[in-house]
Structure 1
Amino acid sequence: MIYSLHLKNFKPFEDQLIEFRQLTLLSGLNGMGKSSALQSLLLLRQSYQQRLLQRKRLALNGDLVSIGTAKDALFEGAKEELIGIKLIVEYREKMTWEWNFRYDQKADVLRTDIAPITQEIHDFSLFGNYFHYLQAERLGPRNVFEMSDYSVSQNFQIGTRGEYAEHFLYVFGDQKINTIGLEQKFSQNIPKNLERFKQNEPNKLSHPKEKSLLLKNQVKAWMGEISPGTRIHIDPIEGVDLMSLRYSFEMGKEVSSRYRNTNVGFGITYTLPVIVAALASIPGSLDLSLK
């Protein structure tokens, strides 16, 4: 868990402390720094994925976020030429991780002399597989959606635009929420942790009216809160790495025909990845989403 984020000279923040809880909502007017706060975490993650953070480097541009150069990242009225990111986290025990990156106006990779030990951060939720990030610009209704065995089956990701949410639901739909992928993750290394997670109470995320804890049933129940009676139908298309998505609707004791995803509006398609990401999260994971 991340307890706090302290930003120094980063975009709109000269010196800002942000404290987190298990559920944290950031709200405010445009341009006040909501996205910038999340971008600081994304910078650390993408730098780790590019194997730069391990070498005391920060990548300002990548798959998760593109800031530009150091000039774009530095607070306009900065009194010193450095960008600081400090995290207080709990991983096995409460600890502080801090980076102070040197300013280089035209550089898109920043350097620091001091960084946390790589092994300490290796399995933390911000850097591991159990991290979900949904950007504001997500995929709208499509007749077909992409499949990715690497992203979904191996790394438990739904895509930053929610592009693999349908494939994720198809692959893991028959697993119980809060246990998805635990066998794959812990089977060789930490069997005791696997048992501890399995004994955790998965009903904390479950819909109060749905007895089944299977992901597909829980997604259906929560989708019903947004669009009552919604049924989801996902099928792979033979010969190509694509998924077909259709919806039907319960009307009393009857069920409608299956409608193309493009014919049911944007709301359901935009909501589905958020629900899948939340229900797919095991204890200790981290979800970031922009409106």
Structure 2
Amino acid sequence: MRKLKIKNFKCFIDKEISLSNLTVLAGGNGAGKSTVIQTFLLFAQSFKSSTSLNLSNKLYLNDYYTELGNSKSLLNYDANNETIEFEFTDDNDKSINFKYKYDEEIDSNIFELLNKEEVIRNLKESNALNFVNYFEFIGADRLGPKTFHHTDKNFTELRVGKIGEYSALIFEKHKMEILPNGKNLRDNVNEVLSNIFDFVNIDTEFNKKANIAMFEIKNHPLSTEYESPVNMPYGVSYILPIIISCLVRQIDKTKIIENYQYKQEENEIIIIENPEAHLHPSAQSKLGYFLAKISNHIQIIIETHSEHIINGIRLATLEDDINNNNISINFFSSNKKSFEPNIQNIKIDQFSDLTDWPIGFFDQQEADIREIFEHRRKNRK
């Protein structure tokens, strides 16, 4: 997918967001980043498949991925009509436009589709909605260290869950499957973990009677036995769902999904909120590098407040692990003249420099240092 257009929804009157293999959403709190993510979440929780036979007449506003409340409250304050639109554009510049209205008298928890016949026609030409088939959202509020994980409701899925609740199950089911590099999933996950944290090894045990999966961990190279998952650092527990979700999708799906027949370009998308949570700056940078490299295979959208994630991505371009043209940074900022935020698209050039560095874009360190020096200067007088 290469573009998303949003009209009359929440803070947006009419905005287009550029998407790439790796898309970064950055900017201040309340500037509109979550609204972009919520658009994807609405479609993911409302559509079970991208085929016209399964086309939903409704967008469900309150379900597993997101809870947005009353439909009328989601219409933009300055909208000149009551139609809310979302347009997805694929790699071949083929678009699908969805037009919705709210109807509180029928159901305040839905948007009703207005142009179903047009959407069905466009679905035959565009693969922009195919992301719903193997979509993954990993939220900012992920699970910390736990003694065990329940494994219900997810045996036929590849998803680790929005809080990482199915990470242990996915890992346990597929850890011996071989990835394109010739190593199994377990070895690949541990290789990434050890690169980010110097040394971490994880494995799982499955209790059939209780139907639970349990992580176990070694976090020192001299460790001879795996330890309880409650000894797992928060940074490791927060990053595990991300790494597992990214790597498990490298496995041949015919081997892990029963009756797998999907033929079209899949356009898989993983959306990750605050991947940097609970990580040391050096680990954040290495995670940014990993996400950049893996986005050659899976489209990834991240929402981040970390300059270290950005720097890890920039380093990956210098080492040719991702083409700089396959990265898109969208900087969201408030607009004093309108309720609608500004969105500035920033590119990374061939030298890993950013094409723009607007005020407020990861410049707080410089601003703080200037203020510190100013206070020192005044105090010396």
TM-score by length of 2: 0.61
* Matching of residue 171 in structure 1 with residue 173 in structure 2: yes
Shift of 1:94: 4.2
Q: Cα RMSD (Å) of the superposition?
A: 2.5
Q: Percent identity?
A: 24
Alignment match of 1:260 (pick from 205, 212, 228): 228
Contact 1:56–1:114 (CA under 8 A) maintained in structure 2: no
Contact 2:175–2:184 (CA under 8 A) maintained in structure 1: yes
Task: Report the count of equivalent residues.
Answer: 251
Q: Residue type matched to 2:170 in 1?
A: F
In structure 2, the CA distance between the partners of 1:52 and 1:36, relative to structure 1 (3 Å rule), is farther
Q: Please state whether the residue corresponding to 1:277 is helix, strand or coil.
A: helix
Contact 2:46–2:56 (CA under 8 A) maintained in structure 1: no
Contact 1:47–1:53 (CA under 8 A) maintained in structure 2: no
Contact 2:131–2:267 (CA under 8 A) maintained in structure 1: no
Q: Residue type matched to 2:172 in 1?
A: Y
In structure 2, the CA distance between the partners of 1:264 and 1:57, relative to structure 1 (3 Å rule), is closer
* Matching of residue 240 in structure 1 with residue 210 in structure 2: yes
TM-score by length of 1: 0.78
Shift of 1:96: 0.7
* Matching of residue 151 in structure 1 with residue 154 in structure 2: yes
Shift of 1:250: 3.9
In structure 2, the CA distance between the partners of 1:25 and 1:267, relative to structure 1 (3 Å rule), is same
How does 1:12-161 map onto structure 2 within 5 Å? 12-49=11-48, 54-90=55-91, 94-104=93-103, 107-115=108-116, 116-117=119-120, 120=124, 124-128=129-133, 130-148=134-152, 150-152=153-155, 154-161=156-163
Q: Distance in 2 between matches of 1:67 and 1:155?
A: 25
Residues 130-161 of structure 1, C-alpha deviations (whole Å, 9 max, x = no match): 2211111111110111213x524x22221121
Which structure has more relative contact order (CA 8 Å, sep 6+)? It is 2
Q: Please state whether the residue corresponding to 1:40 is helix, strand or coil.
A: helix
Contact 1:250–1:256 (CA under 8 A) maintained in structure 2: no
Q: Residue type matched to 1:88 in 2?
A: T
Instruction: Name the residue aligned to 1:226.
Output: 196
Q: Residue type matched to 2:228 in 1?
A: R
Q: Please state whether the residue corresponding to 1:39 is helix, strand or coil.
A: helix
Q: Please state whether the residue corresponding to 1:66 is helix, strand or coil.
A: coil
Alignment match of 1:288 (pick from 256, 261, 271): 271
Shift of 1:56: 2.5
Q: Which is further off, 259-268 or 49-58? A: 49-58
Shift of 1:25: 1.1
**Structure 1 stretches of at least 4 aligned residues deviating more than 6 Å after TM superposition:** 50-53
Contact 2:128–2:267 (CA under 8 A) maintained in structure 1: no
Q: Residue type matched to 1:163 in 2?
A: E
Q: Residue type matched to 2:197 in 1?
A: S
In structure 2, the CA distance between the partners of 1:257 and 1:174, relative to structure 1 (3 Å rule), is closer
